[in-house]
Structure 1
């Protein structure tokens, strides 16, 4: 009995010790870094892509998507935890609006900017040979809310 237990223990340790670390162990959630006096929020966001430019676009879109529909739940508690758009299925209801908003020529870029002296953070993703780039950005929440009110997306 002891011999069987010892064998199972050795085999399980062997298999758990052979795993190679990949980027799947990292959290790519948008994190609150702080809030400015004008109501804008500083967040850390991540994007993956074939190159730096596509990863940056994806990171910006991901940060705005989280602010609009998910709320920022990680990091500093200064950020607004609730999403700006609280209507159920709003993404599907206003899909034409948000498809244009997040498109290549959409106006999502008007509400987000990279902070000064920002160094991009890189995490190598061995599973799909893409790199994840992290950016610390400022999101203009008051202007974004005003735009959504003007376009009758939120009350």
Structure 2
């Protein structure tokens, strides 16, 4: 009996620990506003998930641009433009071919981010099962992105 109680306690703690790790691994990190620059760019902390560090960083960059385009930045400082650049309903689907090309690995989206601020804040990395979640600080060149969308006929 003396051995059974500690064994049951250990098994319960082990099960609870595994459940907490699974929950943490599935947590959705949102893009946060860290500030707005005088040139119209937004400094944000974005998160990405991938099979390795490089994939996670690439996804974080895409997520930052995507949030500025379609969602707006709602977390962090209130200085960032909460309203997305594209407010048209179902624009992602309507211009699907355009945005699929825009967001390809090495696509045009990279022209609208800057990693100048990356040394100001340590990058965060969290592992969950077989993937890595990575947070990076970057600047989204919002005004340049808006000009491109107007030139390409997405915005009017």
Give the Cα separation in 1 of the matches to 2:15 and 2:107. 46
Q: 2:124 aligns with which of 114, 121, 124?
A: 121
The Cα shift of 1:18 comes to 5.1
Partner-residue secondary structure (3-state), 1:56: helix
Q: Provide the residue aligned with 1:11 in structure 2.
A: none
Scaled by the length of structure 2, what TM-score is found?
0.82
Partner-residue secondary structure (3-state), 1:122: strand
Cα root mean square deviation, aligned: 2.0
> Map of 1:34-53 to 2, 5 A cutoff?
34-53=35-54
Scaled by the length of structure 1, what TM-score is found?
0.83
CA contact (8 A) 2:48 2:59 kept: yes
Q: Provide the residue aligned with 2:31 in structure 1.
A: 30
> Map of 1:1-155 to 2, 5 A cutoff?
19-20=16-17, 21-22=20-21, 23-24=24-25, 26-114=27-115, 115-117=117-119, 118-126=121-129, 129-155=130-156
Partner-residue secondary structure (3-state), 1:19: helix
Give the Cα separation in 1 of the matches to 2:134 and 2:27. 12
Structure 2 unaligned residues grouped into runs of 5+: 1-11
Structure 1 unaligned residues grouped into runs of 5+: 1-14
Q: Provide the residue aligned with 1:5 in structure 2.
A: none
Q: How many residues align?
A: 140
The Cα shift of 1:16 comes to 9.5
CA contact (8 A) 2:40 2:143 kept: yes
